[in-house]
Structure formats: C-alpha cells, structure tokens
Amino acid sequence: MSELPKLPKVYAAISMPLEGMNRLRKLCQVTVHEGNQDPTRQEFLDGARGMDALIVCPKTMTVDKELLDTAGSQLKVIVTHSVGLDHIDIDLCKERGVKVGHTPDVLTTATAEQGVALLMATARRIQECIRAVKDGVWGTVWDNAMWLAGKEIAGSVIGIVGLGRIGLAIAKRLAAFDVSKILYTGRNLRPESADPIGAEFVTFDQLLEQSDFVVVACSVNDSNKGLFDEAAFKKMKNTAILVNISRGVVVDQDALYNALKSGEIGAAGLDVTTPEPLPTSSPLLTLPNCLVTPHIATCTVTTRNAMCELIVDNILAGLEGRSLKTPAFL
C-alpha cells in the first residue's frame, strides 16, 4: 500500500475566521493556539517547533533567532496577521531562506476609520461625556455653557506623521471636514500621495508646532522609537490632540502622561501602547483626556476576513514554493 502524502504542518498563534481557516485545513495539518489569551513566549516556541509554516501577530510574538532555531530548518514561511513587521527579524528570515508575508492594503480602510474615530472621540470628549451621563452629572451643571466643550476639526491644521497607505487614508477622510491645512512628515517627500490632497511636507518640529491634531501613522524603525518625548510634547500646542494608531513604542508614555496631566497638550487617543495589553494600573487610564482602545484598528468583520484570506493565500504559496501574494521582501 502506498504511503499517504504528508500534509504540511501549520501553527497559527492566533485564531482566525473559520471560512479562511477551513480552506487551509483542507490542505494542511493546522494547529491553532487555544484559549482566550495570547500564547506565552514558551507556548509560542513550543507551537512553532517542527512546523512548516507559522501564522503570527505583532502582539507578543517576536520572530527572532530563538524562534527560528526552535521552529527548525524545515520552516518555509511565516505570515503575520498585520501590515507592521516590527516584531520580525526580517534580515535573519532572509538569511535563513524563510519567506515572510504580511497583510498590507486590506486593512487600510479599517485602520484609517479607527484613526478618525479616535480623533473625533477625543476632540468631542466622548469618554467624559459617557462618564458624565452614567454618573448623573448631566443636568447638575447645565448653566455652564462651556461644560464638556470640545474642539472642532473644521478649520484645524492636521499633522500626519507617516504619509504611507494608512496616513494617506486618514488624511483623505479628514480633508472632508474642511480642515485648513494638512501637513505631513517622514523620511521622504511623498508628492504622489501629498499633491492630490494638497498636503505640505514639513519637518517633525514644524508639524508639532503648527498642528491642532497630530496623527501618528508611521511604521516603526530605529528612526522613530521614542519620537514623542518630553521635548516633542513641549513643542506641541497646549490644545493639540495626539492620535496614535502606529505602535506604542513611538511614544514615551511617561512623557505623554506628564504632558496630558500638566496641560502641555490637550488630549490623546491611542490604539497602541507599551506594553499591550496596557495594565489597568497604568496612570494613563486615570486621565479623563486620554482615550485608549485595545489595538483594535483592523477589527471589522470585513477586514478580519480579508486578512485571513490573504494570510491563507500567502501560506499556501510559501508551502508550494511560489512567490507570496504580499511578501515582506522580495
């Protein structure tokens, strides 16, 4: 009797929508991390051991020498449930001949919408409004015409740090609010993105000084870890609002706390923090002018399904020795 062909082994460190996973299960032996917590480092290493392909995500799943050594030399492909690649040692994967895929584009709309949602929610102090209603404060301060007064987007200066796919998608949406100006900064001028929306390239300092809303949408690299430090907050307007949908490491959180508490800046809306999850004891959570969401920007049904399909396409391509649909490098 001839031996049945062995199915390639895939470890998914994150559980994904059933439809996409079922497509993968028809062709691979899939092990999905169980439980409602992210895998611990040890569980992640154990899960990766002996696998042909890995599905990872940025939260706690660092792909480094230890992980690649533990997985073994049969590992062909790693696909991350993210566009961001800051948790993956790309050079080492290249060196080892392990293909890496990610999920650009399909998540741009959802992430941009969350960026705009955070900006509007902080501008109009939605967190404080909800609290005031729940606490029965509503009605007791009616004669104060400035009670919970917010900030208008119309007429404001928007500063985008990182005019990539998501930064541009946010800028385009905000342009519809009749803003007075859109500024952007980065390592390079991006006229192909900036010119159609009339966005102006400025230095980081100029952006801080002039913007009413500063939206952080850059990818993370050595040039921007801790970019928003005490000195940066001092350069911002006292009424400015910071929105971060990039990565927590771009912001020095102690400096942010001080800036928000002292009125150096007006408010912050963060989808990303350091660490994640942000401990409930974090001083940031005591501030009425700081709104934090749990790294949820891509989480719409449409986008999560699209990410899953793209991940499966990439995994199958990598296992079959074909080019990935959305490779992190060529």
Per the CB < 8 A criterion, the answer to whether 311 and 103 are in contact is: yes
Q: Which does 211 bind (CB under 5 to 8 A by kind): ligand NDP, ligand DGY, none?
A: none
- Residues in contact with ligand NDP by CB under 6 A are 83-84, 104, 107, 111, 161-167, 185-188, 217-221, 223-224, 245-247, 271-272, 295, 297-298
Determine, following the binding rule CB under 6 A, whether residue 298 of this chain makes contact with ligand DGY: yes
- Shortest distance, CB of residue 47 to ligand NDP, whole angstroms? 23
Q: Which is nearer to ligand NDP, 269 or 318 (CB)?
A: 269
- Shortest distance, CB of residue 58 to ligand DGY, whole angstroms? 5
| DSSP assignments along 245-272, one per residue | -S-GGGB-HHHHHHHHHHTSSSEEEES-
Q: Which is nearer to ligand DGY, 107 or 292 (CB)?
A: 107
CB atoms near residue 15 (< 10 Å): 14
Determine, following the binding rule CB under 6 A, whether residue 100 of this chain makes contact with ligand DGY: no
- Any residues with CB less than 8 A from the CB of 158 and at least 6 apart, and which? 171, 174, 179, 181, 182, 183, 211, 212, 213, 215
Q: Which does 165 bind (CB under 5 to 8 A by kind): ligand NDP, ligand DGY, none?
A: ligand NDP
Distance CA 15, CA 113 (A): 24
Distance CA 296, CA 301 (A): 12
Q: Which is nearer to ligand DGY, 156 or 244 (CB)?
A: 244
Report 186-245 residues binding ligand DGY (CB under 6 A). Answer: none
Residue 102 annotated among the catalytic residues of the structure: no
- Shortest distance, CB of residue 295 to ligand DGY, whole angstroms? 6
Determine, following the binding rule CB under 6 A, whether residue 292 of this chain makes contact with ligand DGY: no
Burial of 139 (0-12, 13-18, 19+ CB in 10 A): exposed
Determine, following the binding rule CB under 6 A, whether residue 84 of this chain makes contact with ligand DGY: yes
Catalytic residue among 81, 87, 102, 295: 295
- Shortest distance, CB of residue 160 to ligand NDP, whole angstroms? 9
Contacts 24+ apart (CB under 8 A), 143-148: none
Q: Which is nearer to ligand DGY, 90 or 129 (CB)?
A: 90
Q: Which is nearer to ligand DGY, 245 or 259 (CB)?
A: 245
C-alpha torsion angle, residues 140, 141, 143, 149 (rounded to 10): -150
Q: For the chain, give me the number of helices (H) and strands (E)?
A: 12, 12
- Residue pointed to by tokens 């939206």: 215
Residue nearest to ligand DGY (CB): 84
Among 63, 75, 82, 259, binds ligand DGY (CB under 6 A): 82
Write out the H or E segment, with its range, that includes residue 160. strand 157-161
Tokens matching residue 235: 């350069």
Determine, following the binding rule CB under 6 A, whether residue 58 of this chain makes contact with ligand DGY: yes
Determine, following the binding rule CB under 6 A, whether residue 60 of this chain makes contact with ligand DGY: no
DSSP-H helix ranges across the chain: 18-27, 41-48, 65-71, 90-96, 108-123, 126-134, 165-175, 191-197, 204-210, 230-235, 253-262, 301-319
**Stretch binding ligand DGY (CB under 6 A), from 78-86, 117-125, 149-157, 231-239:** 78-86
Q: Which is nearer to ligand NDP, 47 or 164 (CB)?
A: 164
Phi-psi region of 214 (alpha: psi -120 to 50; beta: other; left: phi over 0): beta
- Shortest distance, CB of residue 81 to ligand NDP, whole angstroms? 10
Residues lying near ligand DGY in the complex (CB under 6 A): 58, 82-84, 107, 295, 298
Residues identified as active-site = 295
